[in-house]
Structure 1
Amino acid sequence: MQPYLKLKLFLFTLCLVFSSGAYSQINYGSNNGKYLTIRGTKIYYEEYGEGTPLLLFHGGFGNIADFQKCIPELSKKFRVIIPDSPGLGRSEFPDQALSYQLMSDYYSILIDQLKLDSAYIIGWSDGGITGLILAHDRPDKIKRLLASGANYKSSGINQEVWDGALQTVFNPDWIQANWKDWIGNYKRLSPHGDWKRYVSEAPKMWLAKEYFPISELQSISIPVLVVMGDNDMVTFDHTIEIKSAIKNSQLCILPNTSHEVFNDKSELINKIATDFFAGK
């Protein structure tokens, strides 16, 4: 699939996720969850199920509802904990500019505040990148990581995708005209409602030349499952580079699947994740 078509498919899928009819019976991301105050910022999270803690980290422009198709099944086997990342969903914006290290630090503190002895992580897109940083920084807490659609530098996504994004999702006027559902959902959940701030700050994080050095991947010691769709926005070569850098890693490429792995193939990815966390 051509890179720009991958971006269009990604945008279309996000529109479906944020449209009112796309939500499941349980309104994930809109339930009566809890807040933690981390570095003066209120971070919202929801919990479902019992068992070994499993943290789910969503992607850019998203919130807890990114995993709405996966939570019901995963919560039968794990204590599923899903935070809204800083500036998205019901979580407040931090005082600092958004960065992957900042998000990882917030999640690291969340793990400590919840007094989790250990946890598994599923991270998608931005959440997968954050998960990789946590796998490096907190091997004392993170047992295993499934990282899907993750890149450690901006060149890991085809330049044509970035060029298309500059005309669309990086442009507030385009979002105002074409993403009314997303804006409405953002304002409904957000404690501040300033969606333009997110659209201004997030691309600076995404377009950074390098999010962290490859040496951090090379020093990850925990088991990592690197996942991508065969029509992912992250390039195959970059995904192989990440997999090759992490010593104790496996690679999973899902057929007929876009960047939106957890929407496209929720039943399959639930099974893959459960088997991986069981050491199969």
Structure 2
Amino acid sequence: MQARALSIWSNDTFLYARIYGKGRPLLLLHGNGETHQILDAQIRYFSSFRQVIAMDTRGHGKTGAGSGTLTFHRIANDIIRLLDYLNIESIQIIGFSDGGNLALYTAKHYPYRVNEMVIVGANFSPDGMLPKVLKETVWEYRMQRVMGTLIPAIRKKAAVTNLMLDELALRREDLPTIQQPVLVVAGSQDMILESHTHELAKLLPNGRANIVPGASHFLMMENPEEFNRLASDFLN
């Protein structure tokens, strides 16, 4: 796949993204602690007939964290900065896990810049995670906070983990204001509670849930052909 790499200044750090293909633009957003590379199967598929924009979000991959607290608000501002740089007025989004949460946040605060969305394994509240997963995430964050007092790299990691906890800036009352069509996808074996996925879709005025039988949180990577067809049908 041929790609054009971008590194642009966004407020207080450099933002890294790769552009693939030509056609109607589609933004891909990875999950917490990952990079755009985890969405390689989606990049390959959609770039054959779309312009795909795959970014490393703030604090991830080749994008710096900048100064101050890492928040969804700052990352959403980075997305708008990237769209402005590329002269894209509005865009469709596929967001995985925390990337799905970020897609919803961006649609809420910049409604005219976001069109249809497919969000996978997303949650609007930390308690949308399975209790065991939430407990492990909280424990991991606490350990990172302690070790981060001595090791800067772990301190940065703690800031990323906290995006799933204290910095998950979605409120239940925000969701009914998001008017864009949203396909809310999750696996039947997801780390997100199935009841939470259905509640999320129900709270969105134009939301629709699709639970993939037997699939885990990483259904996009486990069965990319099925997911890509599902997402393509919805977005087109």
Say whether residues 1:66 and 2:38 are aligned partners: yes
Give TM-score, length-normalised by structure 2: 0.90
Say whether residues 1:126 and 2:98 are aligned partners: yes
Match in the other structure for 1:40: 12
Match in the other structure for 1:16: none
Deviations 1:104-128 (A, max 9, x none): 2221222122210221100011100
Mapped contact 2:105–2:169 kept (Cα < 8 A): no
Say whether residues 1:112 and 2:54 are aligned partners: no
Mapped contact 2:5–2:19 kept (Cα < 8 A): yes
Mapped contact 1:170–1:203 kept (Cα < 8 A): no
Instruction: Decide which structure has greater strand share.
Output: 2
Q: Could you say what secondary structure the match of 2:209 adopts?
A: strand
Match in the other structure for 2:109: 137
Query: Following TM superposition, by how much is the alpha carbon of 1:162 offset from its aligned partner in structure 2, in angstroms?
Result: 2.2
Aligned with residue 212 of structure 1, among 170, 187, 202: 170
Q: In structure 2, how many angstroms separate the alpha carbons of the residues matched to 1:51 and 1:231? A: 35
Q: Could you say what secondary structure the match of 2:112 adopts?
A: coil
**Equivalent residues in 2 for 1:180-259, closer than 5 Å:** 195-208=153-166, 211-259=169-217
Deviations 1:77-112 (A, max 9, x none): 210001101111100112121122221222122212
Task: Report the residue type matching 1:39 in the other structure.
Answer: N
Deviations 1:152-203 (A, max 9, x none): 111111221122335558645xxxxxxxxxxxxxxxxxxxxx6413322123
Q: In structure 1, how many angstroms separate the alpha carbons of the residues matched to 2:87 and 2:104? A: 21
Q: In structure 2, how many angstroms separate the alpha carbons of the residues matched to 1:128 and 1:67? A: 13
Match in the other structure for 1:102: 74
Q: In structure 2, how many angstroms separate the alpha carbons of the residues matched to 1:38 and 1:129? A: 21
Aligned with residue 51 of structure 1, among 23, 40, 50: 23
Query: Following TM superposition, by how much is the alpha carbon of 1:74 offset from its aligned partner in structure 2, in angstroms?
Result: 0.7
Runs of 4+ in 1 over 3 A off after TM superposition: 165-172
Task: Report the residue type matching 1:238 in the other structure.
Answer: H
Match in the other structure for 1:274: 232
Q: In structure 1, how many angstroms separate the alpha carbons of the residues matched to 2:79 and 2:181? A: 19
Mapped contact 2:27–2:52 kept (Cα < 8 A): yes
Q: In structure 2, how many angstroms separate the alpha carbons of the residues matched to 1:138 and 1:53? A: 17
Q: In structure 2, how many angstroms separate the alpha carbons of the residues matched to 1:170 and 1:82? A: 31
Mapped contact 1:153–1:209 kept (Cα < 8 A): no
By relative contact order (CA 8 Å, sep 6+), the higher-ranking structure is 1
Task: Report the residue type matching 2:126 in the other structure.
Answer: S
Match in the other structure for 2:148: none
Mapped contact 2:141–2:161 kept (Cα < 8 A): no
Could you say what the CA RMSD is over the residues aligned between the two structures, in angstroms?
2.4
Gaps of 5+ in 2: 145-151
Gaps of 5+ in 1: 1-25, 173-193
Deviations 1:222-246 (A, max 9, x none): 1111111111111111111111111
Task: Report the residue type matching 1:147 in the other structure.
Answer: I
Query: Following TM superposition, by how much is the alpha carbon of 1:205 offset from its aligned partner in structure 2, in angstroms?
Result: 2.6
Match in the other structure for 1:20: none
Aligned with residue 264 of structure 1, among 222, 226, 236: 222
Match in the other structure for 1:18: none
